[in-house]
Structure 1
Amino acid sequence: MNEILSKLYSVIEDRKNNPIEGSYTNYLFDKGIDKILKKVGEETAEVIIASKDDNKEDLINEMCDVIYHTLVLLNYKNIKLEDIEKELEKRNEKICNKKQERRPIENI
């Protein structure tokens, strides 16, 4: 799984650095953060719907869309997959990790 995510992230990064006309990834980068966030939100909602409909094939397809758009967001924000991996490794070491209170949302 890590290999395919790395390959996809590399393609996204390449599109960002070497735009190709007609590329959907370039379209997202050109439109900017608002469009990328809109797509992450839309695809996440579609994951919820596919889960409620109990349709495995739709859920897999929508999860792939969420992963792709999330990777675009990470790349847009200059966050590497290694940064995510490190954080997941830290979290994996925790036991009895009850969620803390969420901090207030700022800059909306």
Structure 2
Amino acid sequence: MAYDMEILPPWQVPGRPTTDRCFVIADEGIQITRPVTFVDALEGGWYIDLVELEEVGPKRLAVHDLYKDKHLRNLNQDAPNSWPDFPPAALVNLAELPPFD
């Protein structure tokens, strides 16, 4: 599942999109996002959240972030290509879609 999330004005970066595309991998209980607000050494990086899903209506899900923040890679030690299938290749087509309405 994929959805677009609005970035609140205090965290928007001038000249960048105002939404992030979020990808939920329900079977794993995770959501990954490539935040457009990441700059400098983090630019182009991905953010992973542990999530729970709740059915809130017919064909409607709510995503609840469990807020278990932890760095999975050390940017000073790990080569950028050290995770060859991250993000998973299955997300490429979703990432390239225009913004959802």
Q: TM-score, normalised by structure 2?
A: 0.24
Which protein has the bigger strand share? Answer: 2
Task: Kindly indicate whether structure 1 or structure 2 has the higher relative contact order, using CA contacts under 8 Å at least 6 residues apart.
Answer: 1
Query: Which structure has the larger Rg over C-alpha atoms?
Result: 1
Q: TM-score, normalised by structure 1?
A: 0.23
